[in-house]
Chains A and B, each alone.
Chain A
Amino acid sequence: MSILVIAEHDNSSLKGATLNTVTAATGLNGNITLLIAGSNISSVIDEAKKVSGISNIISCDDELYKNFLAEDLSSLVVSISNSYSYILAPATTFGKNLLPRISAKLDVQQISDIISIESEDTFKRPIYAGSCIATVKSNDSIKLITVRSTAFDAAPMDNSNVSVESLDAVNALNISEFVSEEIAKSDRPELTAANIVISGGRGMQSGENFHLLDSIADKLGAAVGASRAAVDAGFVPNDYQVGQTGKIVAPDLYIAVGISGAIQHLAGMKDSKVIVAINKDEDAPIFQVADYGLVSDLFDALPELEAKL
Chain B
Amino acid sequence: MKILVPLKRVVDYNVKVRPLPDNSNVDLNNAKMSVNPFCEIALEEAVRIKEAGNAEEVIAVTVGKTESQEQLRTALALGADRAILIETDSILEPLAISKVLTKVVEQEAPDLIILGKQAIDGDNNQTGQMLASMLNYPQATNASEVRFDGDKVNVTREIDGGLQTLQLNKPAIITTDLRLNEPRYASLPNIMKAKKKELTIINVSDLGVDINPRTELLSVELPPSRDAGIIVETVDELVEKLKNEAKVIT
Q: Are A175 and B162 in contact (CB under 8 A)?
A: no
**Chain A: which residue is nearest B234 at the CB level?**
A294
Least distance between B234 CB and chain A CB atoms (Å): 8
Residues in chain B near residue A134, CB distance under 8 A: 217, 219-220
Q: Are A180 and B165 in contact (CB under 8 A)?
A: yes
Residues in chain A near residue B239, CB distance under 8 A: 305, 308-309
Task: Report if A128 contacts B (CB, 8 A).
Answer: yes
Q: Are B162 and A132 in contact (CB under 8 A)?
A: no
Q: How large is the interface on B (under 10, 10 to 19, 20 to 34, 35 or more residues)?
A: 35 or more
One of B53-61, B106-114, B117-125, B191-199 at the interface: B117-125
Least distance between A292 CB and chain B CB atoms (Å): 5
Chain A residues within 8 Å of chain B by Cβ, number: 90
Least distance between A236 CB and chain B CB atoms (Å): 11
Q: Are A274 and B226 in contact (CB under 8 A)?
A: no
Complexed CA–CA distance, A122 and B220 (Å):
13
Q: Which residues between 218 and 254 of chain A lie within 8 Å of chain B, taking CB atoms?
A: 220, 228, 231-232, 238-239, 241, 244-245, 247, 252-253
Q: Are B236 and A133 in contact (CB under 8 A)?
A: no
Residues in chain B near residue A273, CB distance under 8 A: 248
Q: Which of B11, B19, B130, B220 contacts A103 (CB 8 A)?
A: B130
Q: Are B220 and A139 in contact (CB under 8 A)?
A: no
Q: Are A181 and B246 in contact (CB under 8 A)?
A: no
Complexed CA–CA distance, A6 and B122 (Å):
23
One of A41-49, A80-88, A91-99, A206-214 at the interface: A91-99
Complexed CA–CA distance, A239 and B238 (Å):
29
Task: Report if A108 contacts B (CB, 8 A).
Answer: yes
Q: Are B232 and A294 in contact (CB under 8 A)?
A: yes
With contact pairs A103-B130, A133-B221, A245-B178 given, residues A93 and B142 touching in the complex (Cβ less than 8 Å): yes
Q: Which residues between 163 and 219 of chain B lie within 8 Å of chain A, taking CB atoms?
A: 163-169, 172, 177-179, 213-219
Complexed CA–CA distance, A108 and B215 (Å):
10
Residues in chain B near residue A252, CB distance under 8 A: 248
Q: Which residues between 123 and 138 of chain B lie within 8 Å of chain A, taking CB atoms?
A: 123-134, 136-138
With contact pairs A132-B19, A238-B144 given, residues A181 and B215 touching in the complex (Cβ less than 8 Å): no
Q: Are A293 and B129 in contact (CB under 8 A)?
A: no
Complexed CA–CA distance, A104 and B95 (Å):
7
With contact pairs A103-B130, A140-B214, A190-B161 given, residues A292 and B219 touching in the complex (Cβ less than 8 Å): no
Q: Are A93 and B160 in contact (CB under 8 A)?
A: yes
Closest 10 CB pairs of A and B: A176-B138, A100-B129, A109-B214, A104-B133, A104-B130, A291-B229, A100-B126, A183-B162, A253-B248, A179-B165
Interface residues of A (CB under 8 A from B): 67, 69-71, 74, 92-94, 96-105, 107-113, 122, 126-140, 173, 175-184, 190, 192, 196, 220, 228, 231-232, 238-239, 241, 244-245, 247, 252-253, 263-264, 270, 273-276, 282, 287-296, 301, 304-305, 308-309
Beyond A93-B157, A139-B215, 20 additional pairs, beta carbon < 8 A: A67-B164, A100-B125, A112-B125, A112-B126, A129-B123, A132-B18, A176-B138, A176-B169, A177-B166, A196-B249, A238-B177, A238-B178, A252-B248, A264-B13, A274-B248, A292-B229, A292-B232, A293-B229, A294-B231, A305-B235
